[in-house]
Structure 1
Amino acid sequence: MKILKCIFFLFVFCLASEAFGQSSSDLRRQKEALTREIESLNRSLNQTANNKNLSLKEIRALNAQIRLREKKINVINSEVKLLDNQISDNTNTVRSLQSQLNKLKKEYAAMVLFAFRNQSSYSKLMFIFAAENFNQSYKRLKYLQQFSEYRKKQASYIEGTQKELNVKIVELDRNKQEKSNLLTDQQKERRTLGIQKNSKSKVLSSLTSQEKKLKQELTQKQRESATLNRAIQNAINREIEEARKRAEAEARAAIAKAKAENREAPDAKPVASGSSILAATPESAKLSSDFLGSRGSLPWPVTNGMVIEDFGNHTIGRNVTTENNGVDIKTAPGSQVRAVFGGEVAAVQNISGSYAILIRHGEYFTVYSNLKSASVSRGQKVSLKQNIGVVITDPIDGTTEVHFEVRKGATPMNPSSWLAN
């Protein structure tokens, strides 16, 4: 029973170690991906910092870099916690194995002593023939055979436990070294984060003296954003109105058909109001449900990119604020933009020299803007990951960014909660 308990304990521990390994591997991949993004932003920031006319983009790059650095530190913290748990588990395993080994050695020593005292063939024969009957003699013979086999098994268990103990001791030492390396990386990242925050403070201080120029730059950006928002709102309102008219026409047609066939007219149901009319038909209702079910797993609108500005309100300096109804994604020049879900193109518009595409998914919409070209047209059906255009590259600074939004009706939603990590 003791041996079975030992084996069971080792089996459970191996399963726990495997689960730990998977988690640790996932965290390591996350950390490597964040490191690549930070390095890419460093190159972009160096390019942007050399141009004194690009203050807003410099701040956005710094903010994104700080955010990624903080996320990387959090990942390192998670790795350290996992290693702490692994070190604790391995320490307990080493103690348990040492205790098991000591017990096995004591039991084996007792068996060796017993075998030494009864090692002669004469003693064994006397033990067998001293039985009261043949049945008892047979049982004594089987006992001696089983005792010999058990001694061999005990010796094997001791050897196996000793090997397992040595392996766990090596693994424990490796865990401690990994933790030490992680803590060193963590301190390095924290120092770098402090430097970047100081750099941001200096840039913000210099911008304070140029606040008038900064506000002019921001005003232009807000004007473009407002134009895009109006175009999106108008397109969605048009979709809602067309859906309402179709629903009313279908209701009238059903009543007229019933009268022509001398049947009782169906009860007139009130037409849904607002964006809910967009999911009034079975087809659009299923599309809405499927899109909602894909929340958190939608592909990115570009194959490679990183979020340079998040959804929501952002403060730059003391008196300058911006609002983003989506996310801005930095990508490579010439990158293709793709639909994140199947649907129908609701609008394609040229806004200030770049294209914006609105795709309807039942009651939901996705927006793709800052495109230099569009390869789809209004009313066209698109499939998942179908290329719909190409991102424009700023001719002044060479940056390539696509603006992406997710809306339920006309209400903006945070795209980061919809896209796959």
Structure 2
Amino acid sequence: MKLKKLLLSLLLLVLCSSGFAQSSKELTRKKEALQREIELAQKNLNRTTNGKKLTLTQINAIKAQVRLMQEKISTINSEMKNLDNQITENTGKVHNLQTRLSDLKKEYAAMIRFAQRNKNSYDKMMFIFAAKDFNQAYKRIKYLQQFGQYRKKQASYIQGTEKDLNNKIVVLDKDLKNKNNLLKERVNEKGKLDKKKNEQAVVLNQLSKQEKQYKQDISRKKQQQQAIDRAIRAAIQREIAIARKKAEDEERERERIAAAKAKSENKPAPVTSSPKTQTNSEILRATSDGNKLSVAFENNRGNLPAPVASGYISSHFGRSKVDQATIDNEGVTYQTSDGAGVRAVFNGKVTSVSTVQGRYIVLVKHGEYFTVYYNLKSVSVSKGDNVSTRQNIGIVGTNDGVGELGFQIRRISIPQNPESWIAR
């Protein structure tokens, strides 16, 4: 019974340890990814500060870097919390193993004393012959045999427990060192964050000195974005109109065939009922492929890959405010490296490739959903092409020397928040 409990405890310890290891690896990967994004943001920021003019791109790069640094510190805190739990757990394991080892040694010492008292063959024989009957004598013989075997097992248990105890002490020491390293890393990252916040404050303070040109930059960006959004909505409406006309043509063809069949069979022509007005959603889901793509796209909410392999979101979905300027974004803006590839986030069909102010916009249809990629300096797809997930569709363009990609997800023409669809 004791052996079963011991084995069950060891199994639970192994499972808990493996779960912790997996969680620690995930946090480490996240921290490393955040560090790469912070370094990329700094590289982009260096590009924007080469010019004397304060731009929205520069402010967005600083804001993104501050946010990424805060997220990295939060990840370090999660690592430390995990490590504290592991240290507490391993400390408990060490105490339990020490107690277990002490009990085993006491039991073994008692067996040794008993063996010393009955160490010669004469004593053993006397112990057997002192039995009341043959049955009891047989049991005493078996007892002596099992006693010897049990003593060997106890010695083996003691050695195994000592080994486990030493291993756990090594793990505990390693955890304590890791915690100390994380404490140092957190202090270092907080120092960097404070420095970056001061830098942000200095830059924002410049707004009062460069207010006129900054407002001009904001106004220019707003006009660009409005022109892009109009082009996107118009492209989607054209696609809906094409799908609606196709559905109506198919319905008229079915009616024509039914009428011709009735005439050939000398039957009255079928009465055509007034056509049912379909919603835009029904039109885009009308075909089996359109419906399958819509369902598949919906099922991948939160798991879609980012439209760039490396980069960070510098402008979020919805309305944001920088100083006194208000900016509306119907998608998100990624800052990435100059010349980075742009990739489709899901299987679909390219329904539009257009240009606005010298930059390409690519519209990909996924049933009733559309993904939009804009500010591309070149494209590698054409209208009518079928694309697959992560397929390269073009090269990102730059704003103020920084690679920037605008990305939107729309259900019909209604903007969706891409951050709830894209996997982190």
Bigger drift between 2-11 and 398-407 goes to: 2-11
Tell me if the contact between 2:37 and 2:310 (Cα under 8 Å) persists in the aligned partners.
no
Amino acid at match of 2:85: N
- Residue by residue, what CA displacement relative to the aligned partner does 1:202-232 show, whole Å, maximum 9, x if unpaired? 2111112322211111111111100000001
Alignment counterpart, residue 279 of structure 2, candidates 270, 273, 283 = 273
Residues 267 and 384 of structure 1, relative CA distance in 2, 3 Å threshold:
farther
Amino acid at match of 1:27: L
Aligned to 2:387: 382
Alignment counterpart, residue 351 of structure 1, candidates 352, 356, 359 = 356
Distance in 2, Cα, partners of 1:60 & 1:362: 33
Amino acid at match of 1:86: Q
Tell me if the contact between 1:97 and 1:161 (Cα under 8 Å) persists in the aligned partners.
yes
Distance in 2, Cα, partners of 1:295 & 1:61: 27
Aligned to 1:128: 128
Match of 2:402, SS state, is coil
Distance in 1, Cα, partners of 2:43 & 2:243: 48
Could you state the TM-score of these two structures normalised by the residue count of structure 2? 0.93
- Residue by residue, what CA displacement relative to the aligned partner does 1:352-403 show, whole Å, maximum 9, x if unpaired? 0111111111000011111122232222322333332222245xx4322221
The 5-angstrom pairing of residues 239-318 of structure 1 reads 239-262=239-262, 270-317=276-323
Tell me if the contact between 2:347 and 2:388 (Cα under 8 Å) persists in the aligned partners.
yes
Amino acid at match of 1:338: R
- Residue by residue, what CA displacement relative to the aligned partner does 1:45-82 show, whole Å, maximum 9, x if unpaired? 22322311243222111101011001101111110110
Bigger drift between 83-92 and 333-342 goes to: 333-342
Shift, 1:277, TM fit = 2.0
Percent same amino acid at aligned positions?
Answer: 50
State the aligned residue count.
418
Aligned to 1:405: 408
Aligned to 1:417: 420
Tell me if the contact between 1:254 and 1:266 (Cα under 8 Å) persists in the aligned partners.
no
Aligned to 1:186: 186
Amino acid at match of 2:34: L
Shift, 1:268, TM fit = 6.3
Tell me if the contact between 1:247 and 1:271 (Cα under 8 Å) persists in the aligned partners.
no
Shift, 1:30, TM fit = 1.0
Residues 61 and 267 of structure 1, relative CA distance in 2, 3 Å threshold:
same
Bigger drift between 114-123 and 180-189 goes to: 180-189
Distance in 1, Cα, partners of 2:194 & 2:392: 41
Distance in 1, Cα, partners of 2:286 & 2:150: 76
Structure 1 runs (4+) greater than 6 angstroms displaced: 265-269
Tell me if the contact between 2:54 and 2:210 (Cα under 8 Å) persists in the aligned partners.
no
Alignment of 1:33 with 2:33, yes or no, is yes
Distance in 1, Cα, partners of 2:273 & 2:137: 97
Shift, 1:151, TM fit = 0.6
Match of 1:300, SS state, is coil
- Residue by residue, what CA displacement relative to the aligned partner does 1:150-204 show, whole Å, maximum 9, x if unpaired? 0111111112112211221222222122122212221222222222122212211
Alignment counterpart, residue 335 of structure 1, candidates 321, 333, 340 = 340
**Structure 1, unaligned stretches of length 5 or more?**
none
Residues 367 and 93 of structure 1, relative CA distance in 2, 3 Å threshold:
same
Match of 2:327, SS state, is strand
Residues 308 and 136 of structure 1, relative CA distance in 2, 3 Å threshold:
same
RMSD (Å) for aligned C-alpha atoms: 1.9
Shift, 1:90, TM fit = 0.8
Tell me if the contact between 1:343 and 1:381 (Cα under 8 Å) persists in the aligned partners.
yes
Distance in 1, Cα, partners of 2:162 & 2:378: 69
Shift, 1:266, TM fit = 8.2
Residues 418 and 38 of structure 1, relative CA distance in 2, 3 Å threshold:
same
Tell me if the contact between 1:55 and 1:207 (Cα under 8 Å) persists in the aligned partners.
no
Alignment of 1:17 with 2:17, yes or no, is yes
Q: Relative contact order, CA 8 A, sep 6+: which one is greater?
A: 2
Amino acid at match of 1:410: S
Distance in 2, Cα, partners of 1:110 & 1:269: 96
Tell me if the contact between 1:104 and 1:154 (Cα under 8 Å) persists in the aligned partners.
yes
The 5-angstrom pairing of residues 144-223 of structure 1 reads 144-223=144-223
Shift, 1:267, TM fit = 6.8
Shift, 1:23, TM fit = 0.6
Alignment of 1:367 with 2:372, yes or no, is yes
Aligned to 1:98: 98
Shift, 1:115, TM fit = 1.2
**Structure 2, unaligned stretches of length 5 or more?**
none
